Amino acid sequence: MRSKLVFALILTSSALAACRGQTSKDSPIVGIRNMYDQPRYDIQSESTFFADKRTMRPAVEGAVSREMETDPRLLKGRLEDNSGYVLTIPQESVASFGGMDPMLKRGKERYGIFCTPCHDGTGNGKGAVTARAQAGGAAAFLPPTFHQDRLRHMPDGQLYATVENGKSNMPPYGQMLSVHDRWAIVAYVRALQLANPRLGDEKPDDPTAPAPAPTAAAVPATASAAPSASTSAPAPSGSAPSAAPAASAPKPAASAH
């Protein structure tokens, strides 16, 4: 009985001793310090060495990283004289993947990671995030469907700029995607548009609208497989023709010329 009491006392006192309620300016007690103490600057800490007291040094003016793309067509999707957007994906970017097929494969993968949450695998703008936003009452600036004429005819460079810089409610993805990955996504968005030419034609909430679009898996990863998107779910009876693209649909590669 007594030993139980002692045990309980030890337990409560050690629990209290471990209380971390108070803050302290003293350095923490660390048994084996090894590399704990070493001369280094902490992020955002003050420097006694530099006149401006910043430990985080700004880049020297005009510095360009070795990896940085300097061609405005590739980097910004803008013409060399900055008079407008480039109309088609620069050939250099296609070449960097070794052709349009590997580029689309990469674009499909990156699109799946970065765009599907909001724009859906089909590009109809009804991704999981959109559904949640709507359920929570957010109705402004929802992602648009890619299957509308304005975006079908938008210059490739403007699509690229949207990925890089974002637009109103859409965040920018430039810092997460390399220049060529951004172009690969543009190529894949074009492939989606070609593979689902009828998507977006239906009116919202139209019961006779075509059946749900083919899933991303049914969308071709390669230009040559384009007609395979005809494997869409069967349309409800009496509805408009299914979303199968014409077998003669131009290959996405065409947008690279």
Q: Residues interacting with ligand HEC, by CB under 6 A?
A: 114-115, 117-119, 129, 141-144, 151, 159, 162-163, 167-171, 173, 185, 189
CA distance 223 to 182: 18
**Which two tokens mark 36?**
């704990």
CB of 23 to ligand HEC, least distance (A): 37
CB of 17 to ligand HEC, least distance (A): 47
Q: Which CB atom, from 185 or from 199, has the smaller least distance to ligand HEC?
A: 185
Q: Which CB atom, from 94 or from 118, has the smaller least distance to ligand HEC?
A: 118
Q: Which CB atom, from 170 or from 218, has the smaller least distance to ligand HEC?
A: 170
Query: Is the separation of the CB atoms in 249 and 226 below 8 Å?
Result: yes
**Which two tokens mark 221?**
């990863």
CB of 213 to ligand HEC, least distance (A): 17
Query: Is the separation of the CB atoms in 214 and 122 below 8 Å?
Result: yes
CB of 187 to ligand HEC, least distance (A): 11
Q: Which CB atom, from 185 or from 243, has the smaller least distance to ligand HEC?
A: 185
Per DSSP, the chain holds a count of helices (H) and strands (E) of: 9, 0
CA distance 257 to 252: 10
Q: Smallest Cα–Cα separation from 95: which of 194, 184, 189?
A: 184
